[in-house]
Chain A
Amino acid sequence: MVLRRSGIAVGLLALAAGVVGAAQQREPLAVVRGRVEFARAIAAPEHRPSAVDPGGPIESDALNRRRAVVYFDAAPRGAFEDRESARVSLDQRNETFVPHLLAITAGTTVDFPNHDRTYHNVFSLSKAKRFDLGRYAAGNSKSVRFDRPGIVRVFCDIHSHMNAFILVFGHRFFAVTDQDGRYEIEGVPPGSYMLSAWFEGAVREQRPLTVTGDTRAVDLGFTVR
């Protein structure tokens, strides 16, 4: 099932408050792993066409854009108790945000270092977090703390082709896929769950999952169509 952005935003918010599953502390924990496959080509980012400056394809790391997030729609009990404040970085390099997709837990601070020769102006108008860091030069960095679960779309006010996603979760049961599309979510207690694979603004596929006390590892694949 494919949900629109608003749908996934609601889902993520619900996820912050909802607790499903009858997991008990100290029960054996499982690992959920698998692979997200892409059944379609991933379009390269483009400059906004302009008669004055027609631009062209952006030289970017295609793998940077070929990332998905797999997450639990509803988290196991106790999932919200082990949050810890973290600090991660969303780089600006070659007029590209690297990584293009960042998944964090609420309370995480994201640094936005500028490693280009030109100014950048990172901003977001997303409901989950509105911010505007203003224009700053190479070698400088500014940071934002994300306290509210949701989807944050990040742009540069100067370079309209620059964009990135930050998914803010209320728990730790999520993973960003690696270069081969593989993901792994550890420490899953027994229970029945729904897993979603999210890519470029929408949930692309959802699959149910049941973890019993005997389960040690589950392999679950997804396809982005």
Chain B
Amino acid sequence: MCTAGLMTAARPSRGTRLVLVCLAAMLAAASAGAQDWPDRPVSVAHGHVTVGGDVTVTVGSGDSGYFNFTDYERSTLRLVRFDAVTTLRANGHVSGVIELRAEGDSAAGNWSADAYAAYLRVQPWTGRNFEVQAGRIPTAFGGFSRRPYGNDNLLIGYPLGYQYLTSLRPDAVPGTADDLVAMRARGWLAYYPVGEQYWTHGVPPMSIFQYDTGVLAKAGIPAARGELSVSVTAGTLSNPGVGDHNGAPQVAARFAAKPVPGMLLGVSVASGAFVAREVRDVLPEDAARQQYRQRAVGADAEISHGYWLVRTELLSSVWRLPALEAPLITEPLRATAWLTEGRYKLAPGLYVAARYDRLLFSDIQSSHGVTTWDADLWRAEAGAGYSLRRNVMLKGSYQYNRRDGGRVKAASLAAAQVLLWF
């Protein structure tokens, strides 16, 4: 579990500085290789090394309700990101992929840098769509998670299911249902009495801001015009990362098909141990023997034609937590995220887009009666994008958030973004 929420150092760590230096070197090399600011991936060493990049600068409203925060200190409406993806190709069968990413908040700073992805890729057969990836990899789950870069996102905000911080933490759990309900709408900064004894942010149903560690196999299925991906990773959808925190792997799978041109259909499943080892170590013996898993299913669809693009996605996640003291948490905790988004191109380089997004939580019985275990919310966001050049885009968006609980129940927020990619 990342504890960066309250523990971010004023000076970047040695690791952060190292990644920042590497990132700067890669972007400089890419720029020099292209003899100009590149507008397509830069390939050197006879195609053995290819570098692509993505720079995003976002300025936006202050979000006192923490609707758009990815941790305690960073909002997607103020996100500044430098991202470089490098592929190192040894031959037609073996290659490596490294993605270095530095992120900060345009208002608050809080810079961090990380090797977001770093894996070995093996394609045993030339001409067959089959590959194995091992290392820090994207999990085989979800539709929006396949579009992680700024120019893939029609708007500026991220879907709730991939970004909104629920009150759940893998490194600390509530002792009672009352403990859990007390943290409703407090996912940006939550505390529970069992496990790690500090305040930090909760986790989203699926995090798009970290990759997991493990192995992924992907195979094309021509008869179904589709592709099947299966991954085994150390973390969970909510809490991916480096290293094993929970003592059991997560298995995830996704099948995506294009039955006809212009249509993409996907289904995903995942199951993995959610509660961290440090919590299990302090649980009573009976409770410590059980598995507390996160299970999720997802479905997504995309249809496009002419100047229209429409997507919809459903993500349902269930977490099971220890039942320790009355009032007990006996039922699995469910969160269901649903979004629909669309884009229409008005003119060459100019589009408008909108997204409607809901995140609903299941009921729980506490001393105060029956309530949802976290506060339901919805978001509507609309905006426009204008491409100055093919790879330089300006975006603006406005969003309205409404939440059934918390100190701030509604927020109208605006943001603007400059995006460059190559």
Contacts and interface: CB of A to CB of B under 8 A. Distances in A.
A193 interface: no
A49 B349 contact: no
Contact of B390 (A47, A57, A125): A125
A136 B304 CA distance: 9
Nearest to A2: B35
Interface in A146-164: 153, 155, 160-161, 163
A132 B349 contact: yes
Nearest to A124: B348
Contacts of B145: 52
Contacts of B52: 48-50
Nearest to B44: A43
Contacts of A46: 40-41, 43, 47, 50
**Which of B50, B147, B261 has its CB near the most chain A CB atoms (within 10 A)?**
B261
Interface stretch (A25-33, A86-94, A115-123, A174-182): A115-123
A130 interface: yes
**Which of B46, B87, B95, B145 has its CB near the most chain A CB atoms (within 10 A)?**
B87
Contact of A125 (B87, B147, B348): B348
A137 interface: yes
Contacts of A52: 138, 145-148
Contact of A135 (B262, B349, B389): B262
Interface residues of B, number: 47
Interface SS, A side: loop
A56 B89 contact: yes
A92 to B, nearest CB: 12
Contacts of A81: none
A50 B261 contact: no
A223 B124 CA distance: 40
B87 A134 contact: no
A213 to B, nearest CB: 43
A132 B116 contact: no
A138 interface: yes
B297 interface: no
B318 interface: no
Contacts of A50: 52, 85, 148-149
B395 interface: no
Interface string B304-326: 11110100000000000000000
Contact of B306 (A48, A51, A118, A134): A134
Contact of B262 (A56, A137, A153): A137
Nearest to B41: A46
**Which of A43, A44, A49, A131 has its CB near the most chain B CB atoms (within 10 A)?**
A49
B347 interface: yes
Given A41-B46, A51-B117, A119 B41 contact: no
B211 interface: yes
Given A48-B41, A153-B390, A135 B304 contact: yes
A3 to B, nearest CB: 13
Nearest to B85: A49
Interface in B205-237: 211
A47 B41 CA distance: 8
Interface in B312-351: 345, 347-349
Nearest to B51: A49
Given A118-B258, A119-B261, A135-B262, A51 B148 contact: yes
Contacts of A43: 43, 47
Interface string B83-110: 0011101000001010100000000000
Contacts of B146: 52-53
A198 B146 CA distance: 38
Contacts of A163: 40
A130 B348 contact: yes
A43 B262 CA distance: 31
Given A132-B345, A163-B40, A49 B87 contact: yes
B422 to A, nearest CB: 8
A125 B148 CA distance: 24
Interface string B379-418: 0000000011110000000000000000000000000000
Contacts of B349: 123, 125, 130, 132
Nearest to A131: B348
Contacts of A44: 43, 47
A135 B306 contact: yes
A132 B145 CA distance: 27
15 contacts: A46-B47, A52-B138, A52-B146, A54-B87, A123-B349, A124-B348, A125-B348, A125-B349, A125-B387, A125-B390, A131-B348, A132-B348, A135-B306, A136-B306, A138-B261
Interface of A: 4, 41, 43-44, 46-57, 117-119, 123-125, 130-132, 134-138, 153, 155, 160-161, 163
